[in-house]
Amino acid sequence: MEEKINDIDTQSKIIIDKNADGIIVVDKNGILLFVNPAARLLFGRKAEEMIGGLFGFPLVAGDTTEVDIFREKESTIATEMRSVNILWGGEGAYLISLRDVTGRKKAEEAIAEARANEERIERLERELRSLAGLSSPPQTGVTARMYGMVNLLEGFPDTFRNLVDSYEKLMDLALEQQAYKVKHDISGRLGSMAETLGFYKAGPRDVVDIHATALKEKTRKTATVEKKKAYTGEGWIMVLELMGHLASFYRNRAQGASAPTNQKT
């Protein structure tokens, strides 16, 4: 009978040691009593460095929650944690399983980002249609005069060049933002660019000219196909957003011009 019990213990140990999930036993005070190889790999530490230490995460038996494991000089690991009450050495304890869900989280974030980009593009395309509407007759006198001017490239070449240079810098910032997950106020800068375009009474053709010139120059200087595709993708979003800002500029200008003024009697 004793031999059979030992066989069961051996089998259990093999199952726990070979389990892909991290398995941890913690006493009621939060002190680590046992860690399997997968748990040691998750934390990037040896068993002797962990046993006897404080687990550090709040525990409620039966709960499933997500916790981030921070490892020195390494990336953070997202895990799904489950805990149940057990007896360990005759004392109450928690049996904890930790599953690495970093890949799943990244995939979810990528899907959410793609959906956000789709919604952003839809919004910008609506603004683009609005801008096209503003440039089509019938128009108010103010708006009609705005679109009756010579195009920016021919009428103000120095300004056009400066805007192209600014647009190219924003394209680089957009790529940097995507690659390194840093935050740049690209939308705010495009808004400022739209105000400049509005000052020169620019229209959709001028925006397209700026975008096309900047994209042509950036892709000509870029060696890799991947980066050329990245410039094209980010540039498409930027040109839509710039047109959206310009549409808002002219809409606000037109509304301001048509608003009735209060007259004293």
Kindly report the three-state secondary structure assignment for every residue of 188-240: HHHHHHHHHHHHCCCCHHHHHHHHHHHHHHHHHHCCCHHHHHHHHHHHHHHHH
Q: Which phi and psi angles does 97 have, rounded to 5°?
A: -115, 135
The per-residue pLDDT for 16 is 76
Three-state SS at 75? coil
The per-residue pLDDT for 73 is 66
Residue 176 lies in a domain: yes
Regions in the chain scoring below 50 on pLDDT: 1-8, 132, 134-148, 264-265
Q: Which domain holds residue 253?
A: 105-257
- Say if residue 72 is in the same domain as residue 90: yes
The per-residue pLDDT for 146 is 45
Other CB atoms within a 10 A radius of the CB of residue 42 amount to 20
The per-residue pLDDT for 137 is 39
- Say if residue 121 is in the same domain as residue 249: yes
The per-residue pLDDT for 145 is 38
* Residue after which a domain boundary falls, among 74, 100, 126: 100
Contact yes or no for 131/246 (Cβ under 8 A): yes
